[in-house]
Structure 1
Amino acid sequence: MNKIKTIMAEINEVMNLVDHEQLVSALPYLQKNKRIFVIGAGRSGFQAKGFAMRLMHIGYTDYVIGETITPSIQKGDTWVAISGSGTTKGIVADTEQAKKIGLQIVVLTSEINSPLAKLADTVIIVPGATKTGSGIKSVQLLSSLFDQTVHITLDTLTLMLAERDQTSNEAALNQHTNVE
């Protein structure tokens, strides 16, 4: 089979298993009057950064953990953690600290029984293959399938937020970098 068709079939299989109600359940935790902090390691970190950029485009105040301009977290903030396995030590430890401080925790993972998922106030399961072997099996290397499908899941969540908040594409474009 053509590799593109194989990869697209894998992506479709996973996306058909992402529970829309889990996305709906995450919406109340993501509000324009709250600060949102995102965290992920490796390629999950890239997905977290992409999500943070889209949140900014639709008018949210959000930060990426580990960046030099990120302020300290405070009770009442929202924490979005991404880890396919849900066992990435640094992500779990930082999320434990965020939970102790009193942040609301949103987790995206492929493992419902993972340490990270157990810390969450709401979990979105994205069952793409991870480097530890969890999730839907894939012909792709390491966690590529999780990374691809978590990106689509986060873009879907962003679209749901934009629609809820009545943020148009034009308004988002006005927040986009406009350097010539």
Structure 2
Amino acid sequence: MDYNQAQKEIVEELSNTLNQIDGDSADELLAEIKKADKVFFVGVGRVLLSLQGVAKRLAHLGIKTYVVGQITEPAITENDLLIVGSGSGESAFPLTIAQKAKKYNARIAHIGANPDCSMKEYSDVFVRIPVSTKLQLPNEIPSVQPMTSLFEQSLLLLGDTLALMLIREQDIDMPSLWEYHANLE
């Protein structure tokens, strides 16, 4: 297989997946982000890397974002939102963090593939990315890519979609966003 064929398959998978994310649940997540004082993110592995990208982009839009475990992480409160990325909804660390955040009455948004999971007990909002997970459940979009790459990529693109929605809703001047970009590089 050559590069052109491989990238074409990946782009088609991503397009198919993003088209199957429920717009109402994405709108609900965006509403939660806008009303939160601070937005926290938790995930593991490559999911965490995607969430870090989403956190950074939302920070560029003036939203106070924190990744759980970062050295400057403040306390979570009832005015905050925790966004959990977990395809299966069964990953131990995100589950523990969601349970703890609930004790502080924070809102919880779960972005995952499995609606009937342990994370459901803690989630106020669920955005389903309907792709194959390690659980191999029915009604999941299969992928030619290894493991859960399609979930991780879709998670990042969902975050960028939410950012674009915010930019357009708030009529943000794109060049002005550079003032929030890192400048010690």
TM-score normalised by structure 1 residue count:
0.92
Distance 1:75 1:41 in 2: 24
Amino acid at match of 2:141: I
* Pair 1:108-2:111 in alignment: yes
Q: 1:159 is matched with which residue?
A: 164
Task: Map 1:20-169; keep pairs closer than 5 Å.
Answer: 20-31=23-34, 34-134=37-137, 135-169=140-174
Identical columns (%):
29
CA drift of 1:145 comes to: 0.5
The answer as to whether partners of 1:130 and 1:145 remain within 8 angstroms in 2 is no
Amino acid at match of 1:42: G
Amino acid at match of 1:31: K
Distance 1:118 1:17 in 2: 24
Q: 2:179 is matched with which residue?
A: 174
Consecutive unaligned residues of structure 2, counting only runs of 5 or more, are none
- The C-alpha deviation readout for 1:17-56, integer Å capped at 9, x for no partner, is 1111111111221127611111111111011111110111
Distance 2:141 2:77 in 1: 36
Consecutive unaligned residues of structure 1, counting only runs of 5 or more, are none
Distance 1:175 1:93 in 2: 32
CA drift of 1:125 comes to: 0.6
Amino acid at match of 1:66: G
The answer as to whether partners of 1:38 and 1:48 remain within 8 angstroms in 2 is yes
Q: Decide whether aligned partners of structure 1 residues 32 and 104 sit closer, same or farther in structure 2, where only a CA change above 3 A counts.
A: closer
Q: Secondary structure at the match of 1:76?
A: coil
* Pair 1:18-2:33 in alignment: no
CA drift of 1:77 comes to: 1.0
Distance 1:59 1:33 in 2: 12
Distance 2:173 2:89 in 1: 34
TM-score normalised by structure 2 residue count:
0.90
